[in-house]
Amino acid sequence: MQLTPDEMIVFTIAGYGVNATIVFTWAVMAILTGASVIVTWNLRPDVPPNRWRTVLEAIVLTIQGQIDEISAQPDRRLLYFSGTLFLFIITSNMLAIVPGWQPPTASLSITAGLALSVLVAVPLFGIGSRGLGGYLHSYMEPSIIMLPFNIIGEVSRGISLAIRLYGNVMSGAVIAAILLGVAPFFFPVVMDMLGLLTGVIQAYIFAILATVYISSATAAPDAPNEQEQT
């Protein structure tokens, strides 16, 4: 039983095996790129929107609404970043209902890459919003003694993101394999429904956490953060 797409070699190039993780990751990228090109192909003010454009606008506005509720300083670049994370993860997970599909998010290398992108984005957004000095000073708040702890906390965020996403996808695969061995005719439908629900939830949680971390880095020192409001 193959629990991760890293173990499945699809084809070889010059003696190097290309596993399912790479193939399905590029497949998701191609699907998202192709869909966006098709939907926005005739995007003009004088052309009435079709149903697909309406769906796309609803998705974008929903994501923007969630960001506005979290971030004290809404940034359109945050919509691009968090929205891309959400769409990539949810597409990867939702396509699991297709026979033979292996979600790229079931690979630790992909989840680690997504978490690493968040780790890189946090200081970039923070420096862009508060300046280099202002962002670095945030690591020494409330005192310089907290510097190593704040750095460790920053790194642990990325690790927790990767492990959380990978663990949830992998646990679903293991449970599905066990249940299929017990009752192969009944449980596939149930597991497909639970898998879709879990995929949506995980995509939402990952994108929300990334938004919270970036918003915390870009917020002004005297601006109330989300934790204080709750």
Give the total number of structural domains in the chain. 1
**What pLDDT is attached to residue 17?**
81
The tens digit of pLDDT for each residue in 159-195 reads 777 777 766 666 655 555 565 565 555 556 666 677 6
Q: Which residues contact 211 (CB under 8 A, 6 or more apart)?
A: 66, 67, 70, 71, 78, 82
pTM (2 d.p.): 0.79
- Where in the sequence is the domain holding 47, given as residue range(s)? 5-229
**What pLDDT is attached to residue 174?**
58
**What pLDDT is attached to residue 209?**
87
Tokens 């994108």, located at residue? 207
Task: Quickly state the pLDDT bin for 31 (edges 50, 70, 90).
Answer: very high
The tens digit of pLDDT for each residue in 57-110 reads 888 899 888 888 887 766 788 899 999 999 999 998 888 878 788 888 888 888
User: Is the separation of the CB atoms in 162 and 115 below 8 Å?
Assistant: yes
Q: What percent of the chain is modeled with pLDDT above 90?
A: 9
- What 8-state DSSP symbol labels residue 222? T
pLDDT top residue among 185 and 216: 216
pLDDT top residue among 44 and 38: 38
The residue type found at 63 is I
